[in-house]
Structure 1
Amino acid sequence: MLHRLSLRAISGQAAMLMNDIISLKTAGEREETKVNSTTGQSMKTTVIILSLGFLLGRAVILLQLLPFVVPFLAAVSHWKRSCTLVAVTALLAGSASVSFTFAGHTMLAIAFYFMFHGLLLWVFGEKKMIPVTVFSAVAVSRYVGFFVSEGHSWYHVLTASIEGSLAMIITVIFFQSVPIVLERKRKAALRHEEIVCLVILLASLMTGTVGWLIYELSVEQIIARYIVLIFAFVGGAAIGSTVGVVTGLILSLANVANLFYMSLLAFSGLLGGLLKEGKKISTAFGLLIATLLMGMYGENQVQLEFSLYESILAITLFMATPKKWTTQLSKFIPGTLEHSQEQQQYLRKIRDVTAGKVEQFSNLFLSLSKSFTLAEANSDKLNREREVDIFLSRVTEKTCQTCMKKHQCWAKKFNETYSLMELLMSECEREGDVTNRTLLTQWRHHCIIDERVIATMKDELNQHYASKHLKQQLLESRRLVADQLKGVSKVMEDFAKDMQREKQEHDKQEFEITEAIQQAGLDVNSVDIYSLEAGNVDIEINLPSNDYSEGEKIVAPILSDILQETIVVKQVHQLSAASSEARVVFGSTKRYVVSEGVAHAAKDGRLVSGDSYSTMELGAGKHVIAISDGMGNGTRAHLESQETIGLLKNILRSGIEETVAIKSINSILSLRSDEEVFSTLDLAMVDLHDGFVKFLKVGSIPSFIKRGEKVTAVESGNLPIGIIQEMDVDVVTEQLKAGDLLIMMSDGIYEARTMAENKDMWMKRVIKEIKTDDPQEIADLLMERVIRESGNEIHDDMTVIVTKIDHYSPKWATIPMKQKKNA
């Protein structure tokens, strides 16, 4: 059946088709009001279902098969049950526009679908049976039609089975493509399978326009080429050629004469996608080239003149398509620039939201820390006078309240009584009893129950001390919690700032690095610069191969010369097992490296030492050396020192500042037990970027720095950990240079020679006399010398750690780059 339609009507229909699909996808990105938006969306959905149903009702393939009717009805009834009647009406109208025979067959197939759907749903109770329902309805309705008109035939059974199988496959396809049009999905991208299913749906709709002509020009070919141009321009050669093949295949099933057009559409999509960088004109030029080539060398299957006119009309529609439509569509096609920007915007939003929540938690912890600090400050306002008043009130309550002279003492002689009792309290606090005979004589003349008051005062002092100790522990607990919360707040604040760091644009630097590496004779596929911050360079480069360590030997030295700092290979990732292409991660190395030597021995040659030590690397380019000496010797001292080191490592790795970490450890150990169990801590943190070292010594003996023939002592006067609740940590900072030796030791080494009057001078002389600069040899020689000086006996646990600081020397020398001459 041929229908004469105006060019304006067909142009409007094609534009409406693309507009509906794109607008329905982008509508999911905007918020809707509950009344007006819902009504408008329902109206738009109804219009879309009517349009799609009408075209699919007309879609006939192989001259007599209608495989799209029941699958579309199944998809609509599953996703939009309220629109089922609209879909049925549209399908029947479309079939009736072809012939009443097709309309009757469509009605029969729809009836069988509802009947089988209710039966299978009642038996199995699963919606997974919908494809089976579609197969049964289409196959049975087709066979019944054949049986009524022509009788039974196995050929008719085979034809009905083929149409049912095809309908079942189309059902699976429509279940992925129809929701893209009908639902307001908030998806950032379409999967490749969804794109193909969407193209199949579009091609199925085009089969509904088969036979429509505009001055002998095929409408389905105009729309098909327009669709191919759109997808080629948006998605490139791969998407364009795929759309061309799928569209041509579907149209060839509707009209065998269109089989030739499958090659034309595929070739057009390929050329248009390859030329997309030249914007719309280049993509349209690709369609013209494909039309001319296929028309000239296509064995005259179609007239070149008509085919050229169809391409020109498709190009006209393509050029008239608003840019915002193609831009919105490209956001859902993986691999496009717009899709990448959309993904980055989405990730940036998620990152900012997460960083905001982390900052809120940081502020919360900081507020809690301030509240505990305020509570401690308020508690400190309980001064001495307040404590004396409370103490004396408890004493008088148990003594003076039952005395017959209480009115004379507290009413007439209040100041004298109060002063004498305050002096008695002070005397008992100092001496444990009243030993001042003059004070005792004055009190006996003043009070008739003098001995009873003194006894009660001594008893109350014990309770007072216990109460004061509990209050002090409470204050220390608050201080501990406040410090911990403050430290956690700082860590979370830094974490939020790290999350909000973005990859900066370094196009110029990436081009210069690529050019420099290529000048060295090595091909580079891509260069991605994430950071050029001094000391924190982060660059990723795709190399054709790294089998011979090209990254370490060639690229890293070139980058070191360009960036004026030492760059090394951090990681190497093989992109695929089939190729040798590798992605190499380059980054800044530390300016200094350390090498260490350790020697330790337990008292009297035992197996368990009371000393514990640890060395570790922190993520900020810091090297930590720590020695802890537990009180005494043996297992108990070992457990104490080991626990101190363990707590220190865990707290430092969390990112909390070292002074806060030491205060926290002190509070934990002092509150943990009532026993007097202490441990020392000798901590050194070496910054491998600038060579500065920070010493935090808590009850530990001095450390020594050897530079050439000069030996310097580093010491601090902090008490051991756990001996007092409140402590101030003194930090000593020194500048190290390449070749310096840092010697840290426990008191078993330092105090081994009891006859030495000045242990600092003796230890400096011993260290100076050691001629080697190997850390392990120094540690062994120092241990041996100390044991010999002690009469070949080990009087205490001994530990010594020697750390040598050196410049980092890359394995491969820097390759100087040719300097460009200024124009």
Structure 2
Amino acid sequence: MKERVLRRPLAGKALPRQWVRVIETCCLTVLGFLLSQATVFDSLAPFGIAFAASVPKGRVNIFVAAGVAMGTIVPGGAGQPLRYLAALATVLAIQWIFGPFKRMVRHPAYAPISAFIAMAATGAALLPVYGTGVSSLLSVGAESLLCGGSAFFFAVSLRILWEGRRITTLSRQELCSVVVSAAAILVALSRLDIAGISVGRILAVLMVLLAAFYGRESCGSIAGVATGLIMSLSSADMSHLGGAYAVGGLMAGLFSPLNRLASALAFIVSNGIVAVRVGGSPAVYAGLFEVMIASVLFILFPADWGASLRKVLDPKVTAIPVTEGLRKSVVMRLQFASKSLGEISQSVDAASKKLRKMTTPNLDTTFSQATDRVCRNCGLSMFCWGPACYDTQNAVNDFTSILRKNGHIERSDIPAYFSKRCCHVDEFLREINASYRDYAVREAAERRVAEVRGAVVDQFEGMADMIGELADQLEEAQSFDQPCANRVAEVLSEFNLPPADVSCLLDRFERMTVTAVVTGYDMQSVSLRKLTQAVGEACDRVFEMPGVASVHGQTRLTFCQQAVYRLSIGCAQRSYQDGPLCGDSCESFFDGQGRAILMISDGMGSGGRAAVEGVMTTSLLGQLIKAGFGFDNSLGVVNSALMCKSRDEALSTLDVACFDLYTGHLQLMKAGAPLTLIRKNGKVLSCDTASLPVGILRDISFEHSELRLREGDIILMVSDGAICSGTDWMEAELTAAGQFTAQQLAERIVEQARLRRLDGKDDDITALVGIVKKGV
């Protein structure tokens, strides 16, 4: 798997974008001129047309076309300039007609087909003039196929160039495309010669030698065949170069483990053998001199420059990409960290239980210490704790229930038989009451410490589960799309959203999720709809509106591929006695993973405190879910946060619905929440499970229910203030809710709940409605 994550440097100076484009345009125009000068079979020049077809429609392709046209017209190039100008015009016409169809233009077959059509059409038009014999038909067909194939290789090479990829990231197929493209350029340079010695062929031999030395015999053969084939087609005198370069590349690769000199000598000997077989001619002798010059340049080639070539060309490099190994390493480290935190949690829990046994205050010990302090100097001590020990102990034991109930003991609470015999009753009462007060304070403190200790243990467990969940998600990731990440980064820059990170993730179902971390995000100045459309065009897919999460000045935008369904959501609330604050909190959002999340939390009581608890519950859970954590693990964190929030008891109910927009799968999760009504296939179903609210006990968990919905089904979630008058009327409302929007239905439910309550009491009322619709 290849890493498909783009990281843009945050520091460093670079040329302004406009200057980069100017330089790029000039270079492409010069390439167009050179390629149109490259000929095969002495007079055919298909490479310029192929290059023009491989450049997408835009400002650049006009300049490239101008360069190709100039190269065609200049003497020494194409044998039929008018025909190639007509083919160039045909290519431009095809690009103009089909340019708006982004999906078609990005298809790998688009450039080869357009180049083939342009060359074949113009060649067929001239057949009546030059004859319709077999040789003419074969010539047109061969040139058209060569033009289409070259366009494919040029398109791949240009894509690599525009993506700014390094040579170490190229696959073998991409590297072959680059080699073929470079060989075509060298054909044009081969016309540049000094006393019959061609500069282009010297560079071609140097390229073969480098490929053979750093990539061994496999890469040497590939480079030799590619360059030799194209060079041999350039002229009838050079037909022997196809075999000479191919054999030379193979032999140079075989001798490459020795040293550069051995590799160069193997190439020279191979070419010498072919030259002897072909026979002496000026072209053959010139070819031998070219090989010798290239061999000298190869031996002098800096070793540091070849380090990158060896990384990508050496077949001994493991077949597992570096990024795949990195991913596996991260997964293993996350899994190990998860297990370590889990063991820490168990250790802390075990230690706290042992310490609790040692430090927890004991009421019997408290009473014993109090009676010892009073009775140690009393003359009746031997009698009270001797013969009358049973009566004395019963009296002390009876104090326990009275102290638990009243918090203190009065003289009237002491049994008569004890008060008549004891001569220190008042002192005994003071000592017992004081000792119990100390005991109650220490017991309350120990209980609070135990709660905090338990919350810490739960936090460790929750962190372990959350890290393990991240590891599982990363392990399930199938691949990353680097070209899409590059294009998305450019789109974000055009919207004045400088990206820090961009990732285009493909899951096992080939569904793409684009995640971008940007700075300077402003809701008022950026149109999310336009941004989503632009990102979709860059990735050749249709995306939903992004999920947005901001933290510490950075914003994460998550674009999910458009789903089968969409969920229309409406929410309505009424506060207790129409007050300014509602004790219920509701939230709905798309998590960026193709799921719609609906949440209602009802804080304890009503008014400001209930509102704080409800908002805290939904906001914490929402943030964790948006960050990619699961519901059950997130619930544990929220529960611990509520338990540690204050000394007073703080609890909230929590009702969550998660709807998968791709499959229609609905998951209902409740923690102390009332029932949820579902209209499915025209029938109303009730989902009501017994569960505890969050914030009062450890080990709180959701009660889960699942079902599958389809277009037209409705989800209705309410707080307990809406069901005081029963639910039959709500079922009737859902059954008849044919023309209502989600918002209208939510407002109607809240208003009807207010009107139907006849017990004279009031409460906060919330209704959250989701209507399943077909994805657009």
TM-score for the superposition, normalised by structure 2: 0.52
1:669 aligns with 2:642: yes
AA partner of residue 533 (structure 1)? R
Give the conservation status (yes or no) of the 8 Å contact 1:248–1:259.
no
> What is the rounded CA distance, in whole Å, between the counterparts of 1:504 and 1:668 in structure 2?
36
Aligned pair 1:462/2:437, yes or no?
yes
Q: Deviations over 1:350-394 (max 9, x none)?
A: 44444443333223322222123323443565799x723333244
- Quote how far apart the aligned CAs of 1:422 are: 2.7
> Where in structure 2 are the equivalents of 1:127-206 lying within 5 Å?
none
Q: Distance in 1 between matches of 2:210 and 2:405?
A: 96
1:262 aligns with 2:203: no
The Cα of 1:608 is off from its aligned counterpart by 3.1
Mapping of residues 577-592 of structure 1, within 5 Å: 590=563, 592=565
CA distance in 2, matches of 1:771, 1:311: 83
SS at match of 2:402: helix
Cα deviation code 1:590-617 (max 9, x no counterpart): 4543222211123343443232210122
Offset from partner CA, 1:203-244 (integer Å, 9 cap, x none): xxxxxxxxxxxxxxxxxxxxxxxxxxxxx9997256679999
Match of residue 332, structure 1, among 308, 313, 324: 308
Aligned counterpart in structure 1 of residue 336 of structure 2, from 340, 348, 360: 360
Among 156, 179, 182, which residue is 1:236 paired with?
Answer: 179
Match of 2:713 among 733, 737, 740: 740
Q: Distance in 2 between matches of 1:794 and 1:437?
A: 44
CA distance in 2 between counterparts of 1:586 and 1:428 reads: 63
Map 1:417-816 to 2 at 5 A. 417-433=392-408, 440-444=415-419, 447-500=422-475, 533-534=508-509, 537-538=511-512, 569-570=542-543, 590=563, 592-676=565-649, 678-707=651-680, 710-722=683-695, 724-726=696-698, 728-738=700-710, 739-751=712-724, 756=725, 759-761=726-728, 763-764=730-731, 767-768=734-735, 772=739, 774-790=741-757, 795-806=762-773, 808-809=774-775, 811=776
Looking at structure 2, the residues matched to 487 and 732 of structure 1 have their Cα atoms a distance apart, in angstroms, of: 19
1:307 is aligned to 286
The structural deviation recorded for 1:454 is 3.7
Q: In the TM superposition, what whole-angstrom CA distance separates every residue of 1:144-202 from its partner, at most 9, and x where no partner exists?
A: xxxxxxxxxxxxxxxxxxxxxxxxxxxxxxxxxxxxxxxxxxxx97899xxxxxxxxxx
Kept after mapping to 2: 8 A contact 1:244/1:265: no
Shift of the alpha carbon at 1:469? 2.3
Change (3 A) 1:622 1:551: closer
Q: Distance in 1 between matches of 2:587 and 2:638?
A: 16
Instruction: Classify the secondary structure of the residue corresponding to 2:433.
Output: helix
Given the alignment, which residue of 334, 346, 349 partners 2:322? 346
Q: Answer whether contact 1:622 1:686 (CA < 8 A) is retained.
A: yes
Distance across 2 between alignment mates of 1:732 and 1:504: 32
TM-score, structure 1 length as denominator?
Answer: 0.50
Q: Matches of 2:507 and 2:461 in 1, distance apart? A: 32
Range 792-801 or range 357-366, more displaced: 792-801
How far did 1:445 drift? Answer: 5.1
CA 1:586–1:665 in 2, change beyond 3 Å: closer, same or farther?
A: closer
Q: Secondary structure at the match of 1:615?
A: strand
**Preserved CA contact (<8 Å) 1:596 1:801:** yes
Question: Is the 1:245–1:263 Cα contact (8 Å) retained in structure 2?
Answer: yes
The amino acid of 2:638's aligned partner reads I
**Matched AA of 1:430:** K
One-letter amino acid of the structure 1 residue matched with residue 335 of structure 2: E
Gaps of 5+ in 2: 1-164, 170-174, 212-218, 241-280, 482-503, 515-532, 546-557
State the Cα distance separating 1:429 from its structure 2 match. 0.9
Structure 2 CA distance, aligned partners of 1:664 and 1:364?
Answer: 18
Asked which structure has the greater CA Rg, the reply is 1
Q: Distance in 2 between matches of 1:191 and 1:741?
A: 53
1:488-532 C-alpha deviation (Å, 9 max, x unpaired): 2222223334445675799xxxxxxxxxxxxxxxxxxxxxx9857
Q: In 1, Cα distance between the equivalents of 2:202 and 2:379?
A: 119
Unaligned runs of 5+ in 1: 1-187, 193-231, 297-301, 507-528, 541-548, 557-567, 573-584, 812-823
What is the aligned partner in structure 2 of residue 399 from structure 1? 374
Relative to 1, partners in 2 of residues 1:795 and 1:309: Cα closer, same or farther, differing over 3 Å? closer
- Give the alignment of 1:290-301 within 5 angstroms: 293=237
Q: CA RMSD in A?
A: 5.5
**Which amino acid in the other structure matches residue 767 of structure 2?**
V
SS in 2 for 1:684: strand
Q: CA deviation at 1:439?
A: 6.7
Query: Is contact 2:674-2:720 (8 Å) kept?
Result: yes
> Would you say the 8 A contact 1:694–1:734 is kept in 2?
yes
Q: Confirm or deny: 8 A CA contact 2:569 2:770 kept in the other structure.
A: yes
Task: Quote the sequence identity (%).
Answer: 18
Separation in 2, partners of 1:791, 1:688: 40
Cα distance in 2 for residues equivalent to 1:611 and 1:349? 48
User: Is the alpha carbon distance of 1:233 and 1:492 closer, same or farther for their aligned partners in structure 2, counting shifts above 3 Å?
Assistant: closer
Task: Report the Cα distance in structure 1 between the residues aligned to 2:646 and 2:707, rounded to whole angstroms.
Answer: 39
Using a 3 Å threshold, how does the CA distance of structure 1 residues 495 and 643 change in structure 2: closer, same or farther? Answer: closer
> Quick check: 1:703–1:715 contact (8 Å CA) kept in 2?
yes
C-alpha separation in 2, matches of 1:792 and 1:422: 48
How far apart in 2 are the matches of 1:552 and 1:591?
16
Q: 1:531 to 1:802 in 2, by over 3 A?
A: closer
How has the CA–CA distance of structure 1 residues 313 and 656 changed in structure 2, closer, same or farther, with 3 Å as cutoff?
closer
Give the counterpart letter for 1:780 in structure 2.
E
Q: 1:260 to 1:530 in 2, by over 3 A?
A: same
Aligned letter for 1:664?
V
Structure 1 residue 452: deviation in Å? 3.4
Contact 2:743 2:769 in 1 (8 A): yes
Q: 1:737 to 1:293 in 2, by over 3 A?
A: same
User: Partner of 1:332: helix, strand, or coil?
Assistant: helix
SS of corresponding position for 2:308: coil
| 1:731 CA drift (Å) | 0.2
Which is further off, 741-750 or 274-283? 274-283
Query: Would the alpha carbon gap of residues 787 and 470 (structure 1) be closer, same or farther in structure 2, given more than 3 Å must change?
Result: same
CA-CA distance at 1:781 after TM superposition: 1.9
CA contact (8 A) 2:659 2:667 kept: yes
Alignment-mate amino acid for residue 754 of structure 2? I
Q: CA deviation at 1:744?
A: 1.6
SS at the partner of 2:438? helix
Contact persistence 2:536–2:543 (CA under 8 A)? no
Residue 95 of structure 1 corresponds to which residue in structure 2? none
Q: Any residues of structure 2 matched to 1:407-422 within 5 Å, and which?
A: 407-410=382-385, 417-422=392-397
Is the CA contact 2:583–2:614 (under 8 Å) kept in the aligned structure 1? yes
Q: Is contact 1:248-1:261 (8 Å) kept? A: yes
CA 1:315–1:353: 2 relative to 1, 3 Å: same
Query: What one-letter code is carried by the residue in structure 2 that aligns with 1:729?
Result: S
Kindly state the Cα deviation for residue 339 of structure 1 after the two structures are TM-superposed: 9.3
Distance between the aligned counterparts of 2:536 and 2:573, measured in 1? 39
Asked if structure 2 preserves the Cα contact closer than 8 Å seen for 1:630 and 1:638, the reply is yes
Distance 1:444 1:649 in 2: 64
Contact 1:611–1:630 under 8 Å retained in 2: yes
